[in-house]
Amino acid sequence: MSESQFSRRKFLGGAAAIGAAGAIGFGPLTSCTSGDSSAGSSAIYDWKQRDYNFPPLLDQVPEGTVLKAGVIGCGGRGTGAANNFLEAGGSTVTITALGDVFQDRIDGCRDRIKKEHGLEIPDENCFIGFDAFEKVIDSGVDIVILATPPKFRPEQFEAAVKARKHVFMEKPVAVDTAGVRQVLAAAKMADNLGLKVVTGTQRRHQHKYINVYKELSNNAIGKLTTAEVYWNGGQLWYRNSNPAWSEMEWMIRDWVNWCWLSGDHIVEQHVHNIDVANWFFGKHPIKALGFGSRQRRPTGDQYDNFAVRFDLDDGRQVLSTCRQINGCTNAVNEVMHGTKGKAFTSQGGTSKIVDLEGNELFSYEDHETSPYVQEHKDLITCIRQNIPFNEAEATANSVLTAIMGRVSAYTGKEVTWEEMMNSDMKLGPDTYIMGDVGYIKTATVPVPGSAD
Amino acid sequence: MLRRFVKFLREKLLLVLFIGFVIGLLAAIYSNKAIEATSTPESCEMCHVHPHVTDSWKLSVHYDTRVGIKIGCVDCHLPPKGEGYLKEKIKASARDAYGFFFKDSADFNWEAKSSLDQAQHHVFKASCVKCHSNLFPITLNRKGQDAHLYYTQHEDELRCINCHLNVGHYDPNALHAKNVEFGSTGNENLEKFTEPTAVSALEDFTEQIPGTTISFNMKAIPGGSFKIGSPEKEQYREADEGPQKTVNLSPFFMAEIEVSWNEYLAFYGATAAEGRSTDTEGSRLQGEVDAITGPTPPYGQPDQNWGMGDRPAITMSYHSAETYCKWLSQVTGKTYRLPTEAEWEYAARGGTETPYFFEGDPKDFAEKGFLGNLFGKSNELINSYVIYEKNSGLKTGVPEDVEANPFGLKNMLGNAAEYCLDWYAEDAYTQLSDGATDPKGPAMGTERVIRGGTFKSAAGEVRSAARDHTQSEAWMKTDPQIPKSIWWLSDCNYMSFRVVCEFDEKTGKK
């Protein structure tokens, strides 16, 4: 396979980039020198001007009529989310429908819900197949929980919104630019319809993070200058192929190792940390330059390490690294640098703010409620009290940020937000059938740059 | 007497207040009624004596709406109440009254007025979004979602009418879709040239494009030297036109006219077969094949419905123009390319050193006022050579409209602007060494030089020395396709180009 095939075209979709004129495009017209915080979007704005919609964070959800949820994607996370939802809502919520492409996944989820919560989900409300999501949405639920591999999310989210359902969906919400745009548009529809959407970025529902954010917005470390965000961890999991499985079945059962299903781990997992940077800065980067590689991943077509520098339109930067390799030193956290100190958002169960000399100014223990449960409490609370709450746009922007980093690492080239928004990148097979789709034989691991 | 009246007023204070209140209320109601009465389509029509506007409105989606509401003139042509409604109403009334009493509506260029350039001055975005407050109804299709998403991310730079220009007045020729039929003309049955023209000396020739019915004239341009740029005292001179430098040029050939639609469609028909389904770069890699991949179908009407034929082809991207030259070289066996900026100005001047290649100063032809019109020079001279804002009707013209310059070239100044090979730099001539031979401009840059003014240009902008440059981002602002086209400009209707042919061993140079 010739290396020239790893062209920008392949990973960037059809974004036009012809010669120098096309490549520059964005830069010269954006002023990065403005010191006036009121002048345009490129100014570094003051915490005072920030307007952030915090989740309600109640320990106990308000009473109300029973909310019925359907779960789409009943694997590990879907089952986990279902349990988190039932724990959050207690007797005031229920799960009435399940959907997946695999019977064994439905069975596992159903059994666990029955065992842990005593809920029986009848056969006729369990749906199998790539179109199961439509049936779950149409089964009379109030909320849908979307937890399939993220490739399928945009279509399912749009369908849920159009059916006027509240949504809990796991991050990432898409794997490619076409998907991100679909989510962004559906997010606007959800706003218009007054629907509530929570997106599995649970750090935004976690006390130690929220408290740091509040301290920082009270000027604890001055203006933010830089962020470091890390998910340097071990191997996640993988499944070897199985003669009983078709090509599609194997890829879906092994989905965290396939770019078209997961978005690669910078999108699938590291988006959590990237989202914290976007949250604290109150905006997303406009370009990325990074690299990465595949060293030890046993299956799939993904990398297992990335290092990316993101640039904001005001010249500030976010440094990001992520890794999924066993036997290395791990770190999963974020560090926010300000003009008067820095904040460690997560050191074990606490977060900490120090001044420039390293003296501790604040520290916060995490709350006893798991953030995975808290985010469901927030969703239920917002529905019952009709509090506007929709995380889809922010998460879609963080996902697009991560995709921008991925494309930069795959190609070795700087990639801009405009290029991403103007890209027709759409990963994976065109149609979904449970069989052989001829994908694996053409799948390749990207090699950036050229050998000569 | 007075005292008694004051006493009366004091005693009847409530009555006085009440009467005042009633008068005020009536005044408010009646002035409001007056405003309403003068804001109906019927009242607009009293002065706006151009019935086609009413006809096209009645055919539009804003008259026969899906939900049964009728949208009138002022709903779009005035801002919403409370957002400058009265101010704009007064301004519009004054303008309309002046037009009604002192002008003849038959003289107005209605076609130009309904173009995007002018429509933005009498259609208010605030009025669009007042009714269309939800840009993401759940009935919106995928392409609409993408387009509105793009709008929400560039709201400051975009107007609704960038994409929805004809929603208020129906235009049967308007097309807001991929134009797959574009370029299929009736020339298919004429006899086609089999060979290109053989050229053996530096003399004018008529090139024949093999495999097509199209030919075009090339003028031999003798080598020589000239002063590029303009003297500091020249009227309307811009800083980027100096300092003047002496430049030497080898002989070359230049096309008599800007590349016409006939010529451009020959290229389009020959190269655009590939990739017609999608407007992207094409999946083939460079070097894999010899064939040249040409433009994908345009979005909308590239000719702006002004007609094609000998009119200059417009709205192609720089990349398209470059690809055209590559293709033309391939099929004719000669070396065609875009002119360098120096070649262009040398050819435009045709040996002259004055602002134009004909007599006169820019101010002679510019806006002159009442006295100027009475006693100033007439515009006859410039009108015979240049298509510019005063005589163009705000669209391109055909070559027969003008006379040639001393080198036999038509429409060098005005009509459509022309791409040059050079990167643009404001200080390009400072960088240029005096006495340079065949200079090619700065080594690097972000935008290309364009020369020659346009049908929208003022007299000062169609001088031989006037310079301008491409605007990569602005010219593609509203292309609704994802990804945007690399072949067609969505937001610039005045770009064309002119080819030069090198005088080399293929054209008889010994």
Distance from CA of B344 to the nearest CA of A (A): 22
Cβ <8 Å between A424 and B483: yes
Q: Are strands B245-249 and B436-437 parallel, antiparallel or unpaired?
A: parallel
The residue among B281, B283, B478, B495 with the most chain A CBs within 10 A of its CB, best to mutate, is B281
| Domain assignment of residue A132, yes or no | no
The dihedral built from the CA positions of residue B291, B297, B298 and B302, taken in this order, carries a sign that is positive
Cβ <8 Å between A192 and B483: no
Instruction: Note the pLDDT of residue B22.
Output: 87
Q: Determine the Cα–Cα distance for residues B342 and B434; give it in Å rounded to an integer.
A: 13
The dihedral built from the CA positions of residue B387, B390, B395 and B398, taken in this order, carries a sign that is negative
Helix or strand holding residue A406 (H, E): helix A392-411
How high is the mean pLDDT in each 10-residue block of chain B (510 residues)? 77 83 85 82 77 88 88 91 89 84 80 84 92 93 91 89 90 80 67 92 95 94 96 95 96 97 91 50 43 80 89 96 95 96 97 94 76 66 93 93 96 96 96 96 96 94 96 90 88 96 92
SS3 B94: helix
| Domain assignment of residue A99, yes or no | no
Task: Give the count of Cβ contacts less than 8 A between chain A and B.
Answer: 78
CA angle in degrees (0–180, nearest 5) for B151-B155-B156: 150
Instruction: Note the pLDDT of residue B301.
Output: 86
User: Of all residues in chain A, what percent carry a pLDDT higher than 90?
Assistant: 83
Q: Determine the Cα–Cα distance for residues B71 and B40; give it in Å rounded to an integer.
A: 10
Q: Cα A143 from chain centroid?
A: 20
| Domain assignment of residue A280, yes or no | yes
| Domain assignment of residue A189, yes or no | no
| Domain assignment of residue A359, yes or no | yes
Cβ <8 Å between B281 and A9: yes
User: Distances in Å between the alpha carbon of B222 and those of A79, A409, B347, B407, B503?
Assistant: 81, 53, 9, 9, 10
Cβ <8 Å between A29 and B473: yes
Cβ <8 Å between B138 and A162: yes
Instruction: Note the pLDDT of residue B375.
Output: 60
Task: Say whether pLDDT at A16 is over 50.
Answer: no
* Domains of chain B from N-terminus onward: 36-162 (1.10.3820), 186-507 (3.90.1580.10)
pLDDT tens digits for range A35-73 = 333 333 556 666 777 788 999 999 999 999 999 999 999
Which residue range forms the structural domain that includes residue A252? 46-50+207-367+394-420
Helix, strand, coil in percent for chain A, rounding step 5: 40, 20, 40
Nearest-by-Cβ selection for B145 from A185, A422, A423: A185
Listed residue (A417, A334, A399) closest to A199, CA to CA = A399
Q: What is the mean pLDDT of residues A158-162?
A: 98
- Residue A19's pLDDT band (cuts 50, 70, 90): very low
Other CB atoms within 10 A of residue B273 CB: 11
Task: Say whether pLDDT at A33 is over 70.
Answer: no
pLDDT tens digits for range A409-450 = 999 999 999 999 989 889 998 889 999 999 999 899 999 988
User: Distances in Å between the alpha carbon of A309 and those of A9, A265, A317, A321, A412?
Assistant: 22, 16, 7, 9, 12
Q: Let me know: does B398 contact B370? Beta carbons within 8 Å.
A: no
Q: Let me know: does A441 contact A27? Beta carbons within 8 Å.
A: no
Distance from CA of A123 to the nearest CA of B (A): 32
Q: For B134, name the nearest residue in chain A, comparing CA atoms only.
A: A192
Q: Determine the Cα–Cα distance for residues B465 and B470; give it in Å rounded to an integer.
A: 17
pLDDT tens digits for range A90-127 = 999 999 999 999 999 999 999 999 999 999 999 999 99
Q: What is the mean pLDDT of residues A132-151?
A: 98
The dihedral built from the CA positions of residue A407, A411, A412 and A417, taken in this order, carries a sign that is negative
Edge-to-edge strand list for the sheet holding A224-233: A360-365, A350-355, A341-347, A331-338, A224-233, A317-324, A305-311, A287-293, A415-416
CA angle in degrees (0–180, nearest 5) for A160-A162-A167: 30
| Domain assignment of residue A8, yes or no | no
pLDDT tens digits for range B183-193 = 766 556 678 89
Return the CATH number at A400: 3.30.360.10
Other CB atoms within 10 A of residue A114 CB: 12
Q: Determine the Cα–Cα distance for residues B129 and B134; give it in Å rounded to an integer.
A: 8
- Residue A5's pLDDT band (cuts 50, 70, 90): very low
Q: Determine the Cα–Cα distance for residues B303 and B292; give it in Å rounded to an integer.
A: 23
Nearest-by-Cβ selection for A20 from B135, B142, B444: B444
Query: Which pTM value belongs to this model?
Result: 0.82
Distance from CA of B400 to the nearest CA of A (A): 35
Q: Structure tokens of A368?
A: 């006893």
Residue with tokens 């958002």: A345
Q: Let me know: does B433 contact B281? Beta carbons within 8 Å.
A: no
The residue among A3, A6, A18, A419 with the most chain B CBs within 10 A of its CB, best to mutate, is A18
| Domain assignment of residue A275, yes or no | yes
Q: How many helices (H) and strands (E) does chain B have?
A: 17, 12
Instruction: Note the pLDDT of residue B48.
Output: 72
Q: For A154, name the nearest residue in chain B, comparing CA atoms only.
A: B142
Count of domains forming chain A: 1
Q: Structure tokens of B397?
A: 């013209």
| Domain assignment of residue A273, yes or no | yes
Instruction: Note the pLDDT of residue A25.
Output: 31
Q: Let me know: does A448 contact A201? Beta carbons within 8 Å.
A: no
β-strand partners of A308: A290, A320
Q: Let me know: does A233 contact A142? Beta carbons within 8 Å.
A: no
Q: Helix H segments across B284-340?
A: 318-332
Instruction: Enumerate residues 6+ apart whose C-beta is below 8 A from A382.
Output: A55, A56, A196, A388, A389
Distance from CA of B129 to the nearest CA of A (A): 15
Cβ <8 Å between B136 and A162: no
Distance from CA of A433 to the nearest CA of B (A): 23
Nearest-by-Cβ selection for A21 from B150, B472, B485: B472
pLDDT tens digits for range A123-139 = 999 999 999 999 999 99
Instruction: Enumerate residues 6+ apart whose C-beta is below 8 A from B368.
Output: B376
User: A interface toward B at CB cutoff 8 Å?
Assistant: 4-5, 7, 9, 13-16, 18-22, 24-26, 28-29, 161-162, 181-182, 184-185, 188-189, 192-193, 421-424
Whether this model's ipTM surpasses 0.85 comes out as: no
CA count, 13 A, side-chain hemisphere, B375: 2
